[in-house]
Amino acid sequence: MAEKHKPAPMVEEVSEFEVLEIAVRELAIEKGLFTAEDHQRWTEYMHTLGPLPAARLVAKAWLDPEFKKLAVEDGVKASLEVGIDWVNSMPTHFGTPSDYCNLRVLEDTPKLKHVVVCTLCSCYPRPILGQSPEWYRTPNYRRRLVRWPRQVLAEFGLQLPDDVEVRVEDSNQKSRFIVLPVRPEGTEGWSEDQLAEIVTRDCLIGVATPKPGKTANDPRPVRPAVNPYHH
Amino acid sequence: MAEINPKYLELDKEMRERNLDESTPVSLLEDVKQKGRVWDDLCEEYGVDNPDPPWRITLEATCDMLAGGYWETFNVCKPKEERNPEEEEKKLDAVERRWEEDKLVEKYYEQIPFPERQLLALAHTLIRRGLFDEEELARRMEEVDQRLNSA
């Protein structure tokens, strides 16, 4: 006899935070700060986003030198190949009035490692990478990475030899970045799907490097800023 | 040591001029902070392994909508000279919100995990800026609570 289907566990109580989130949203709509329809459309769009397209872009670039050239020269055009249209994607449909869609793909080499930050807030290439992780948003990461990139990467477990240059790219109004890491040894003959699996979100931000068998991000401790920057 | 991004210094000056440091605790939010059960605890109790609460994306969407609409969300680091004050009246500039979130979290919500702290900071910011008041929010929370627990 087939095993009886067991439903996935679910949280069976309403938390104060859930109530607060709904209350804030409803009041904002009532006050005319935005419409319920716009919020709904944007939420649906956001639910479609995740890191897979960026991982696929890297995997394709590893397999196809011509595509890699395109990715490095024109990240927006290359994104189309993995289903991400920065200019005409939902829900705008008509492009954007600004040039935010300048996605740049930063190519690592054995002697050059890129890592991405947003020192001002938490700008992130959401259309191709989904939501940013908590640590990416913290002042601790944002303030320290630009000052001590090598040391901060070491805290993430990425020990780089002294002869590897570290380059930090600061996201801004004009540009979003993802890292195209070096293809690791031991992946010869792999398919695009296999390769995409090891290109984790952290590899695409630049705080990790891809490794065969490693398909998930490590849990990252989130620390307060020890020396807060006083505004 | 790398130099600090000049944009950062410019915005820092602007933020200081706007006295974003001036804030007081909001008793309603202090109550939520004390009594609210965070997602990590709920997951543990109910054996759920989804890393984010179901409302995380709707909260993000609310923040984006407050910043002024679809395309604005991609321009959160817009320099001052490119902003239009007349259009900004009902907007909550994303950089300001994020900086205020950093400050409020540091001051009041450090011990609360993410994204609960982001939510508390957003509610704090909206009350502080008079977009709605604490009593209105308390009433609405009561209504929502009754609605959600009426099944």
- Total domains in chain A come to 2
B48 part of contact set with chain A, CB < 8 Å:
yes
Interior/surface letters A85-123, b for 16+ CB within 10 angstroms, e for the rest? ebeebeebeeebeeebbbbbbbbbeeeebbbbbbbbbbb
- Chain-centroid distance of CA A193 in Å reads 19
Residue A74 lies in a domain: yes
Q: What residue segments make up the domains of chain B, in order of their start?
A: 25-148
Tokens of A121: 């807030």
B20 CB neighbours in chain A (<8 A) are 231
Provide the shortest C-alpha distance from residue A133 to chain B (in Å): 10
Higher pLDDT among residues A65 and A100, named by residue: A65
Question: How much is the average pLDDT of A72-89?
Answer: 90
In a domain, A223, yes or no: no
Q: With pLDDT > 90 as the criterion, what percentage of chain A qualifies?
A: 63
- Report the C-alpha gap between A147 and A170 in whole angstroms: 12
Distance separating alpha carbons of residues A117 and A128, to the nearest angstrom: 16
Is A123 annotated to bind a ligand? Reply is yes
CB-facing half-sphere around the CA of A140: CA atoms within 13 A: 18
Between CA B88 and CA B66 the distance in angstroms is 10
**Are A195 and A173 members of one domain?**
yes
Q: Is residue A118 part of a domain?
A: yes
User: Which of A32, A47, A62 is the last residue before a domain boundary?
Assistant: A47
DSSP A187-210: -TT--HHHHHHH--HHHHHTSS--
* pLDDT bucket at B77, cuts 50 / 70 / 90: very low
In a domain, A184, yes or no: yes
Of A112-126, A187-201, B43-57, B69-83, give the lowest mean pLDDT range: B69-83
**Residue in A10, A19, A42 nearest the CB of B144:** A19
pLDDT at B6: 63
pLDDT tens by residue, A207-221: 999 999 999 998 876
A3 lies in some domain: no
Q: Give the CA angle between residues A51, A107, A141 to the nearest 5°.
A: 60
Q: Is residue A210 part of a domain?
A: no
**Radius of gyration for chain B, computed over Cα atoms and rounded to the nearest angstrom:** 17
Token pair of B11 as six digits: 């915005």
Contact B70 A14 (CB under 8 A): no
Q: pLDDT tens across A112-166, in order?
A: 999 999 988 888 898 899 999 989 998 889 989 999 999 999 999 999 999 999 9
Residues in chain A: 231
Domain contains A8: no
The answer to whether residues A31 and A123 belong to one domain is no
Residue A148 belongs to domain with CATH number: 3.90.330.10
Among left, alpha and beta (phi > 0; psi -120 to 50; other), residue A93 is left
Closest CA to A75 of A41, A102, A48: A102
Among all chains, which residue has been given the structure tokens 């706007």?
B18
Contact B32 A20 (CB under 8 A): yes
Mark whether A38 and A58 lie in a shared domain.
Answer: no
Evaluate if residue A17 carries a pLDDT over 90. yes
Query: Which residues from chain B sit within 8 angstroms of residue A120, using beta carbons?
Result: 5, 7-8, 11, 76-77, 95, 98
What phi and psi, each to the nearest 5 degrees, are found at residue A161?
A: -60, 155
A74 with A42, same domain: the answer is no
Percent of chain B past pLDDT 90, that is, above it, reads 40
Q: Which residues have CB under 8 Å from B61's CB, separation 6+?
A: A39, A42, A43, A46
Task: Give residue A117's domain range.
Answer: 52-205
Query: Is the predicted ipTM greater than 0.90, yes or no?
Result: no
Under an 8 A CB cutoff, do B114 and A20 touch?
no
Query: Would the pLDDT of A195 be above 70?
Result: yes
Same domain, A35 and A86: no
Amino acid at residue number A229: Y
| A123 is annotated as an active-site residue | yes
Between CA A51 and CA A26 the distance in angstroms is 30
For residue B149, give the chain A residue with the closest CA: A14
Cα(first)–Cα(last) distance of chain B, in Å? 59
Same-domain check for residues A58 and A172: yes
- Which residue's structure tokens are 């002697």? A111
Which residues of A are less than 8 Å from B58 in CB distance?
Answer: 21, 25, 39, 43
- Between chain A and chain B, the number of residue pairs with CB atoms below 8 A apart is 190
Do A26 and A79 belong to one domain? no
Mean pLDDT, residues A67-78: 96
Query: Between residues A175 and A40, which one has the greater pLDDT?
Result: A40
Is residue B16's pLDDT more than 80? no
Given a cut of 90, whether residue B70 has pLDDT beyond it is no
* Contact (CB<8Å) B48/A9: yes
Between CA B122 and CA A161, with CA A103 as vertex, the angle to 5 degrees is: 95
Same domain, A200 and A160: yes
- Annotated active-site residue A203? The verdict is no
pLDDT recorded at residue B20 = 53
